[in-house]
Amino acid sequence: MSLIFLPPPLQQINSEIARNADVDLYVLRLDLMHPWVNGNKWFKLKYNLLEAKEKFTTLLTFGGAYSNHIYATAAAGNLFGFRTIGVIRGEERLPLNPTLSFAVQQGMQLVYLNREMYRQRNTPALQEYLQQRFGEVFIIPEGGSNLNGVRGCTEIVSNAIAFDHHICVACGTATTLAGIALSLHEGQRAIAFPVLKNGAFLAQEIETLLTNYLGSGLPAPYNSPASWELVCDYHFGGYAKVNDELLLFSQQFTQEHGVPLDYVYTAKMFYGVMDLLKQGFFSKGDSLLLVHTGGLQGNVGMEERLQRFSKI
C-alpha cells in the first residue's frame, strides 16, 4: 500500500541560530511523501486502511471544515478504491472552502453535524446512527487518532538516523508523539509542542495512549516508550490562532531554508525550537530532528481567512 509514496527526505538546516548553539538541525520532510496524502496523516491512515480493506468498501470519518485529516482521507480513499464519507463539524457553508471542495473532487460525500451532535462522535449511539444511515462503514476517528494511528506513527522515525538526540513534533491529540515515543532508541527523546492552549493536560492523554497501545498486543519496536516531554509555551493563543510574529517567522523560515510551514502545526513547533535554541535549552553537540508533519493544504484556507480580516 505504500508503493506510490516517496521515502521522506531528510534535510539539514544551516542556520546561524543552530550554529551558535552548536546543535545540528535536520527536518524529516513527511510533507514531501505524496502531494495529497502526506505528513503524519499517511502514517495515521495506513493501518486503518489496511484493516478496512479486509471487510469494508466505505470509510467514514470526522473533521472540521479545514481538516488535514478530511483532505487526506478523501484522497487516500480515492487512491485505494474506497467510497468516503466525511462528517463535518458545524453548518454547511457555500461556496465550499478549498479543503472541502478538494474532498468533494476526490469523491467524498460530506455530511454536516451541528456542534452538539458532533461532540458525541465517539459515542456508540451516534456511531450506530451513522451505521444505520450509511450502511456498513469503517469508522476512523477524527484525526485518525486510534491505535492503528499510533501504530502507523511508530514508523515515522524508526528508520531515521540513530544519532538524533531530540525528535521534535507538533502536537494536537498526541497520537503522533505516542507512536514516535514507542519507536525511539535509547538516548533519544521526543519533544512535543502542543498547538492548543493549556496543553499540559495532554500528559495524561499520552500516558493513556501509551498504556493502551502497549496493552493491545500491536507491534511496538522496543516495548517501552522513550522519554518524552511537552513544551507548552508556543500555542500562540490556541488552536489555529496566529499572530504577525508567527506569520513573519514562517515566511522567513521558508525563504531562508526552503521549507514551507503550515500555520496551525509546524510553524508553531519550528518557532518553538528556534526560540529554545536561542535560550540554550539544548546541550552543545546535540542533534535535533524536526518532524515536518505536513498540513500545508490548510494554508490556503487560512490565508483566505486572514485576508478577510486583513491581517496578512
Ligand X SMILES: Cc1ncc(COP(=O)(O)O)c(C=O)c1O
Cα 288 from Cα 274, distance rounded (Å): 11
- Cβ 295 to ligand X, closest distance in Å? 3
- Binder among 8, 172, 199, 225 for ligand X (CB under 6 A): 172
Judged by CB under 6 A, how many residues of this single chain contact ligand X? 18
Q: By CB under 6 A, is residue 8 in contact with ligand X? A: no
Q: By CB under 6 A, is residue 175 in contact with ligand X? A: yes
Please give the grid coordinates belonging to residue 19.
550554529
Which among 92-100, 169-177, 279-287, 300-308 is the span making contact with ligand X, rule CB under 6 A? 169-177
Q: By CB under 6 A, is residue 148 in contact with ligand X? A: no
Which residue has the closest beta carbon to ligand X?
295
Q: By CB under 6 A, is residue 84 in contact with ligand X? A: no
Instruction: Identify which of residues 52 and 169 has a Cβ nearer to ligand X in the complex.
Output: 169
- Cβ 284 to ligand X, closest distance in Å? 29
- Amino acid (1-letter code) at residue 220: A
- Binder among 32, 174, 231, 273 for ligand X (CB under 6 A): 174
Q: By CB under 6 A, is residue 250 in contact with ligand X? A: no
Q: By CB under 6 A, is residue 272 in contact with ligand X? A: no
Positions 292 through 311 that interact with ligand X (CB under 6 A)? 293-295
Which among 88-96, 119-127, 225-233, 289-297 is the span making contact with ligand X, rule CB under 6 A? 289-297
- Binder among 102, 265, 270, 271 for ligand X (CB under 6 A): 265
Count Cβ neighbours within 10 Å for each residue of 8-45 and write b for 16 or more, e otherwise: beebebebeebeebebbbbbbbbbbbbebbbbbbbbbb
Q: By CB under 6 A, is residue 33 in contact with ligand X? A: no
**Chain residues that interact with ligand X, rule: CB under 6 A:** 39-40, 68, 143, 145, 170-177, 262, 265, 293-295
